[in-house]
Amino acid sequence: MVEGSSQGAVATVLVTGAAGQLGRAVVEAAETRGLTVHGLGREQLPVEEPAACARVLDDLRPDLVIHCGAWTDVDGCEADPERAERVNGQGTANLAVACRDRGIRLCAVSTDYVFAGEVGEARRPLREDDPVGPASVYGRSKLHGERAVLEAAPERGFHVVRTAWVFGPGGKNFPAAILNRARQGLPLKVVDDQVGSPTLTLDLAEALLDLGCADALSGIWHAANEGSLSWHDFAIAICRAAGVHADIGRQSSAELGRPAPRPAWSVLDCSKLARLRGRPLPAWDDALQRHLAAEDALRAAAAVREGNGGTDT
């Protein structure tokens, strides 16, 4: 059970980035709860424009904004830091100010990339108050957004929610990429020197709604599925769970040679959020099983539509 709210019940939710994998999950979860939901993409709400933020909030008058919208192309951000800052940094700041001025609650999704990502000797999960030090443009732009939310925050109802290794049904995701190559018999090599907690959009969406509807002090929260492993081990687990045979080789992050540095250690301590909700997010392997089942259901539904000539009747 989450804490009750003294600010009035949340009845209407605005979700930014609603076309993305997390945004879709939040919209669906909110609708399941019987909430009125407005899911907007960048075309409907360009957060880089303060006037647009004010206009949309005045028109829709939500009780809660869950800000999933972001430019999450990590390597793209490295090549275009000005755009990353406009969207992830200043855009989040604009939305935070508009929410504060109207007394609207806010949950802004952030990332493990705000940390330096070094393994360190302790290898303990990262807490909300641990020192930050992003190594990438993406991480720095998201950290600017975090700080803007906290600067604008009233005593209650404004939250930064850091997560990591997000995947979910529909669209591009790590399990789908691994399985596509494995089923085609293509060679697979996956980095084994990055460790984190795979986080299912369906579980993260429920946590965001629980937090946004709770009467909680403003601040930073970590939200990820329980447990941790390397990307290489996650790829093996994906193929095993899907019943697909694959020989998956190892490689280092340096060998992969991506433009933006990735954190080597992305394991988050989520105990603060677990105390608020009365339970942690499920284990990552349980989340993986449900993800694969949801993907199977999506493929089956698509096959039915194709068999009906592309209609839903």
Helix (H) or strand (E) holding 66: strand 64-67
| Residue at 186 is within a domain | no
pLDDT digits (tens, 9 = 90+) for 33-57: 999 999 999 999 999 999 999 999 9
Whether residue 3 is predicted with pLDDT greater than 60 in this model: the reply is no
Q: Which of these, 312, 292, 291, lies nearest to 302 by C-alpha position?
A: 312
Residue 293 confidence (pLDDT) above 50: yes
* Span 236-290, pLDDT tens digits: 999 999 999 999 999 999 999 999 999 999 999 999 999 999 999 999 999 999 9
Q: Is residue 110 part of a domain?
A: yes
Does residue 99 lie within any of the structural domains?
yes
Mean pLDDT over residues 170-190, rounded? Answer: 94
Beta strand 195-196 with 229-230 is antiparallel
Domain with 84, as residue range(s), is: 12-171+199-225+268-281
| The predicted structure's pLDDT at residue 264 | 94
Task: Please give the DSSP secondary-structure letter assigned to residue 184.
Answer: T
Output the pLDDT for position 303.
79
Task: Give mean pLDDT, residues 171-195.
Answer: 94
- 300 pLDDT above the threshold of 90: no
If one counts the domains in the chain, the total is 1
> Average pLDDT of 279-304?
93
pLDDT recorded at residue 305: 78
Cα radius of gyration (the chain): 19
* Stretch among 84-88, 120-124, 145-149, 222-226 having the lowest mean pLDDT: 120-124
**Higher-pLDDT residue of 65, 310:** 65
Helix or strand (DSSP H, E) at 162: strand 158-163
Q: What percent of the chain has pLDDT over 90?
A: 88
Is residue 182, in this structure, part of any structural domain at all?
no
Model confidence, pTM: 0.93
The CATH number assigned to the domain holding 46 equals 3.40.50.720
> Above 60 in pLDDT, residue 2?
no
Residue 290 lies in a domain: no
* pLDDT score, position 64: 98
In a domain, 120, yes or no: yes
Task: Answer whether residue 206 shows pLDDT above 70.
Answer: yes
pLDDT of residue 312: 52
pLDDT in tens, 109-146: 999 999 987 765 557 999 999 999 999 999 999 999 99
List Cβ neighbours of 292 (8 Å cut-off, separation of 6 or more).
175, 238, 241, 242
Contact (Cβ atoms closer than 8 angstroms) between residue 223 and residue 163: yes
pLDDT of residue 306: 75
Nearest to 42 by CA among 83, 81, 9, 7: 83
In a domain, 298, yes or no: no
The answer to whether residue 86 sits within a structural domain is: yes
**Does residue 86 carry a pLDDT above 80?**
yes
Mean pLDDT throughout 149-157? 97
Measure the CA–CA gap between 24 and 280, rounded to whole angstroms: 22
CA atoms within 13 Å, Cβ hemisphere of 184: 9
Mean pLDDT of the chain: 93
Is the sign of the CA dihedral 29, 17, 141, 260 positive or negative?
A: positive
pLDDT at residue 302, as a whole number: 77
pLDDT for position 4: 37
* Active-site amino acid positions: 138
